[in-house]
Amino acid sequence: MFHNRVVVGFDGSAPAEGATRWAAREAQSRGLGLTVIHATVPPMSSSGAWGPGAPISLDALDEIRESAQTSLDAFASTLPASDIQTLVQVGSPTGILLSASETAALIVVGSRGHGGFKELLLGSVSQQLVTHADCPVVVIREERAVDATAVVVGVDGSAASHAAVDFAFDYASRHRLTVLAVHAWDVPSFDLIVMPNTPVPIEIGDIANTEVRLAAELLAGYEASYPDVALETRVIRTTPANAILSVEPEAAIIVMGTRGHGSVIGSIIGSVSHTVLHRATVPVVVVTEQAHDDDAA
């Protein structure tokens, strides 16, 4: 049902509407079908003096499903895609979308921030999907600014990072954007208080040169494979999350791997991706390591 399709979760909210329209355009760009899923959790009948309520009747559940299907079909008819399926399922949105991710090409969801500090928080569904999904997941906050022309991608040499770079170049090629590859590094920590006479064994200049060379090696071959995509590489001395967020004003979209390792700072891309997801204001793609393994196979 979901094989090689773009799947988007829809719950009727404004963020979900934006995510679904984005998903429709992406499916059309890829030449793939779009599946719009509305997951509904059936309410319990009202409780009384004798304890909690009982599950609603099957007839009432059918009415809920039919009403949701009618609304979903009406909205789907406005989407800019030629191959659209709509599906209303009873169950947990997280469970249904995670199951779809086993065969889908892409899962798209809206972020569920609600103003003030809570704008930094992901909804529980998107949080679970970026952690456990088997295919790339896109979390949509806002449309890109008109002058944003780059696909920002974090690189660190891991398999997940390679999968993210694959995604970034493919997306940039189809949408006529540039790729801005960001590689972060920092100086290893040495305890000079405990051992004040111990010389620092690595020169900062040597580390910087090594990181520049590593970034070039990581991206070797992509320009030849995608001659229509301009590539810019920035090697930034800071944490990976701060490096990515520092170039966000230039980003139409941000792409990251789910896990990884920094050659110097030993950072974990998993924690980086969550930090960026909480703070970014543009669409963020989280790509699994499995995606790169599948492409390699």
State whether 193 and 52 are in the same domain. Answer: no
Last residue of a domain, one of 75, 110, 141: 141
User: Which residues pair with residue 140 across a beta bridge?
Assistant: 110
Higher-pLDDT residue of 26, 297: 26
Query: Which range in 32-41, 43-52, 120-129, 172-181 is most confidently predicted, on average pLDDT?
Result: 172-181
The total number of structural domains that make up the chain:
2
Higher-pLDDT residue of 206, 96: 96
Give the C-alpha separation, 285 to 140, whole Å: 9
- Predicted confidence at residue 172, as pLDDT, reads 97
67: pLDDT strictly greater than 70: yes
State whether 99 and 169 are in the same domain. Answer: no
Over residues 69-82, the mean pLDDT reads 92
- Predicted confidence at residue 203, as pLDDT, reads 55
State whether 234 and 274 are in the same domain. Answer: yes
β pairing state of 284-287 and 137-140: antiparallel
Tell the residue number behind the tokens 């543009």, with chain if given. Answer: 282
- Predicted confidence at residue 186, as pLDDT, reads 66
State whether 264 and 152 are in the same domain. Answer: yes
State whether 123 and 152 are in the same domain. Answer: no
**In percent, how much of the chain has pLDDT > 70?**
74
State whether 131 and 215 are in the same domain. Answer: no
- Supply 238's token pair: 């800071």
State whether 10 and 120 are in the same domain. Answer: yes
- Predicted confidence at residue 200, as pLDDT, reads 54
- Supply 25's token pair: 């355009």
CATH number of the domain within which 280 lies: 3.40.50.620
- Predicted confidence at residue 12, as pLDDT, reads 87
296: pLDDT strictly greater than 50: no
Over residues 73-80, the mean pLDDT reads 93
Dump pLDDT digits (tens) for 157-192.
778 888 999 999 999 999 999 999 998 876 554 454
**Mean confidence (pLDDT) of the chain:** 80
State whether 67 and 156 are in the same domain. Answer: no
Question: Is 73 in a helix, a strand, or coil?
Answer: helix
Nearest C-alpha neighbor of 107 from the set 248, 241, 245, 10: 10
Strand ranges for 141-201 from DSSP E: 150-154, 178-185
State whether 151 and 196 are in the same domain. Answer: yes
Give the C-alpha separation, 118 to 110, whole Å: 15
Nearest C-alpha neighbor of 5 from the set 100, 130, 138: 100
The residues, any chain, with a CB within 8 Å of residue 54's CB and separated by 6 or more, are 44, 45
Over residues 185-201, the mean pLDDT reads 54
The domain in which residue 239 lies consists of 143-297
Last residue of a domain, one of 120, 141, 162: 141
Would you place residue 55 in the very low, low, confident or very high pLDDT band (cuts 50, 70, 90)? low
SS3 content of the chain, % helix, strand, coil (to 5): 40, 20, 35
Would you place residue 143 in the very low, low, confident or very high pLDDT band (cuts 50, 70, 90)? low
Give the C-alpha separation, 107 to 36, whole Å: 10
State whether 172 and 247 are in the same domain. Answer: yes
Would you place residue 252 in the very low, low, confident or very high pLDDT band (cuts 50, 70, 90)? very high
| Contact (CB, 8 A) for 79 and 16 | no
pTM, two decimal places: 0.81
Over residues 4-18, the mean pLDDT reads 91
Query: Which helix (H) or strand (E) element contains residue 168?
Result: helix 159-175
- Predicted confidence at residue 297, as pLDDT, reads 46
- Predicted confidence at residue 202, as pLDDT, reads 54
State whether 96 and 195 are in the same domain. Answer: no
- Predicted confidence at residue 185, as pLDDT, reads 77
Would you place residue 54 in the very low, low, confident or very high pLDDT band (cuts 50, 70, 90)? low
State whether 106 and 222 are in the same domain. Answer: no
- Supply 197's token pair: 């006479």
Tell the residue number behind the tokens 């703070």, with chain if given. Answer: 279
- Predicted confidence at residue 58, as pLDDT, reads 73
Dump pLDDT digits (tens) for 84-111.
999 998 888 889 999 999 999 999 998 8
Over residues 44-52, the mean pLDDT reads 52
Measured from the Cβ of residue 106, the count of other Cβ atoms closer than 10 Å reads 24
Give the C-alpha separation, 52 to 64, whole Å: 21
